């Protein structure tokens, strides 16, 4: 893998777009911005004038996007407009519409009811829909670095989340394509999509450790630079691919959940197994203080992403629950919240991916990777039909995951397009 010095900006081309891999300013600690964030272009908000009512703005920012009253750090509302905090002490004024606006906000994605109607019963209910599938994590040689790997007593199969998500993504692409969708994988190998390496983030890692008052030892520097590489920068490069190249109607983020397993060479297996989906929201006070967080939140709010994201997640959650037979996961921390008590599988949480992907995101967290039954099912691999598992006939793990998701999407789009 090529290594780039921090004094240079590497350039690479993706699908006809030429884009800086990373700008030098991103490789510095900036107190009012998230680590590695691109400077927001606040001028883009001018396109959202009079596209949303005051009622709708308040409803979304209070019930979805804010943890408690945190939103008041970023928005001051009058009867006709809202002043949004931008950079420093500056603000921009967005006027409300008096009624539901017919003005189309600038966006590349389409709502289900904006797609061509399905005139008659069809075997291609996902025709004309563009879908990007983002297989979570990386896998391969990076799995141990990511902390999404374990093996029992140095023998038997290795559980690598990045490889499991890619297997699901490839099967999902096939099934969705058969229903007429145009589908692209954000990554198709167990390799990062970004062109850098952990070594490129060493200086920034040192800055971060200094800002936290932590020791500058080799172990800490190595760990921090790796996190910057495989998490922060990797997800931002995936956002570039999604927002600038693919420009899909929806993104499907494929993940698996896990309970703490301790030593990955002697992992603790658990009986816990559960399912939940995440929509973007529940920004804390500290998150509202970051300029880029506010920017992405307002873009999502004005584009009306949440309404479509929640409806999609609701359809998929119902189908996944039926297919997997898993109970809903219950958060015990304040970083996530239920936004509808009748939908116990769906939580609002502010993650990097579901924040900076500028379209509806279906973010899945089914199964527990260190659950005993899950481990046994991974060992069985792919198979057709059903096998008896703990006294029940079950599909393969991959087919169960993908069928649950596909059936939910199919039902949602058939109902919305008819």
Is the alpha carbon torsion for 397, 399, 402, 407 positive or negative? Answer: negative
293's tokens: 């967080």
DSSP-assigned beta bridge partners for residue 283:
66
Q: Summarize the confidence of residues 75-90 as an average pLDDT.
A: 97
Give the pLDDT of residue 15: 35
Enter the tokens of residue 418. Answer: 């008819």
Percent of the chain past pLDDT 90, that is, above it, reads 90
Could you give the C-alpha distances from 191 to 16, 37, 63, 194, 413, in angstroms and in order?
21, 22, 38, 9, 33
pLDDT of residue 9: 40
**Residue 248 within any structural domain of the chain:** yes
The model's pTM? 0.94
The CATH number for 156's domain is 3.40.630.40
Q: CB atoms < 10 A from the CB of 100, how many?
A: 10
Residue 205: inside a domain: yes
Residue partners of 223: CB distance under 8 A and separation at least 6: none
Q: In this predicted model, what pLDDT tens digit does every residue of 146-171 receive, in sequence order? A: 999 999 998 999 999 999 999 999 99
Of 64 and 16, the one with more pLDDT: 64
Q: What is the tens place of the pLDDT at every residue in 331-367?
A: 999 999 999 999 999 999 999 999 999 999 999 999 9
Would you state the pLDDT for residue 33?
A: 98
The stretch 309-328 carries a mean pLDDT of: 99
Answer whether residue 338 is part of any domain.
Answer: yes
Q: Which residue has the higher pLDDT, 326 or 119?
A: 326
Q: For residue 133, give every residue at least 6 positions away whose Cβ sits within 8 Å of its Cβ, in sequence order, or none.
A: 169, 172, 173, 183, 184, 185, 186, 251, 252, 254
Pairwise CA distance, residues 130 & 123, whole Å: 17
* 231 and 150 Cβ atoms separated by less than 8 Å: no
Q: Print the domain residue range for 132.
A: 104-417
Specify if 290 maps to a domain: yes
Share of the chain above pLDDT 70, in %: 94
Per-residue pLDDT reduced to its tens digit, 105-148: 899 999 999 999 998 768 899 999 999 999 999 999 999 999 99
pLDDT grade for 102, boundaries at 50, 70 and 90: low
Rg for the chain (alpha carbons), in Å?
22
Q: What is the pLDDT of residue 17?
A: 33
Decide if 93 is inside a domain. no
Please enumerate in sequence order all residues whose Cβ is within 8 A of that of 44, keeping only pairs 6 or more positions apart, or say none.
Answer: 106, 299
pLDDT at site 369: 98
Closest CA to 401 of 378, 418, 417, 379: 378
Per the prediction, the chain carries an average pLDDT of: 94
- Compute the distance between CA of residue 136 and CA of residue 124 in angstroms, rounded to an integer: 27
Q: Looking at the DSSP assignment, which residues form a beta bridge with residue 183? A: 131
CB atoms within 10 A of CB 264: 17
The verdict on residue 330 lying in a domain is yes
Name the strand (E) or helix (H) holding 58: helix 54-60
Is 127 part of a structural domain of the chain?
yes
- What would the mean pLDDT of 46-59 be, rounded to a whole number? 96
Tokens, residue 26: 């991103």
Question: The tokens 């905090």 sit on which residue?
Answer: 85
Q: Please, which pLDDT band fits residue 86 given cuts at 50, 70 and 90?
A: very high
The SS3 call for residue 158 is strand
Inform me whether the pLDDT recorded for 6 exceeds 50. no
Residue 303 covered by a domain: yes
pLDDT at 338: 98
C-alpha span between 315 and 382 (Å, rounded): 26
Rounded Cα gap, residues 145 and 33, in angstroms? 26
| 195: alpha, beta or left? (left if phi > 0; alpha if psi -120 to 50) | alpha
- Angle in degrees, 0-180, between the axes of helices 161-178 and 397-417, rounded to the nearest 10: 40
State how far the alpha carbon of 156 is from the alpha carbons of 17, 151, 159, 260, 376, in Å: 43, 7, 10, 20, 11
What is the count of structural domains for the chain? 1
* 254 three-state secondary structure: strand
């Amino acid at each position: 893998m090529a290594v780039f010095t921090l004094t240079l900006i590497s350039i690479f081309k993706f699908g006809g777009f030429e884009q800086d891999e990373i700008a030098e300013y991103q490789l510095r600690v900036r107190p009012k911005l998230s680590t590695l964030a691109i400077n927001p272009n606040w001028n883009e908000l001018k396109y959202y004038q009079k596209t949303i009512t005051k009622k709708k703005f308040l409803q979304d920012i209070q019930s979805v996007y804010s943890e408690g009253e945190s939103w008041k750090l970023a928005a001051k509302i009058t009867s006709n407009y809202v002043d949004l905090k931008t950079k420093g002490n500056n603000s921009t004024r967005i006027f409300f519409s008096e009624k539901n606006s017919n003005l189309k906000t600038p966006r590349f994605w389409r709502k289900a009811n904006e797609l061509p109607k399905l005139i008659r019963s069809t075997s291609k209910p996902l025709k004309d829909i563009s879908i990007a599938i983002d297989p979570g994590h990386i896998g391969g040689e990076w799995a141990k670095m990511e902390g999404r790997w374990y093996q029992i007593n140095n023998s038997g199969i290795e559980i690598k989340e990045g490889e499991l998500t890619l297997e699901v993504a490839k099967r999902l692409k096939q099934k969705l394509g058969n229903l007429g969708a145009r589908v692209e994988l954000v990554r198709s190998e167990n390799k990062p999509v970004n062109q850098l390496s952990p070594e490129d983030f060493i200086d920034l890692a040192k800055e971060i450790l200094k800002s936290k008052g932590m020791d500058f030892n080799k172990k800490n520097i190595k760990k921090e630079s790796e996190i910057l590489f495989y998490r922060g920068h990797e997800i931002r490069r995936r956002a570039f691919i999604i927002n600038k190249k693919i420009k899909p109607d929806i993104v499907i983020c494929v993940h698996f959940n896990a309970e703490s397993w301790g030593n990955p060479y002697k992992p603790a297996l658990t009986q816990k197994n559960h399912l939940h989906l995440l929509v973007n929201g529940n920004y804390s006070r500290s998150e509202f203080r970051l300029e880029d967080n506010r920017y992405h939140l307002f873009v999502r709010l004005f584009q009306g992403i949440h309404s479509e994201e929640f409806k999609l997640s609701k359809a998929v959650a119902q189908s996944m629950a039926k297919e997997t037979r898993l109970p809903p996961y219950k958060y015990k921390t304040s970083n996530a919240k239920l936004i509808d008590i009748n939908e116990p599988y769906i939580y609002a949480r502010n993650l990097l991916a579901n924040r900076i992907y500028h379209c509806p995101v279906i973010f899945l967290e089914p199964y527990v990777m260190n659950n005993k039954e899950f481990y046994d099912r991974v060992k069985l691999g792919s198979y057709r039909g059903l096998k008896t598992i703990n006294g029940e006939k079950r599909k393969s793990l991959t087919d169960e995951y993908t069928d649950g998701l596909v059936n939910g999407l199919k039902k949602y789009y058939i109902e919305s397009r008819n």
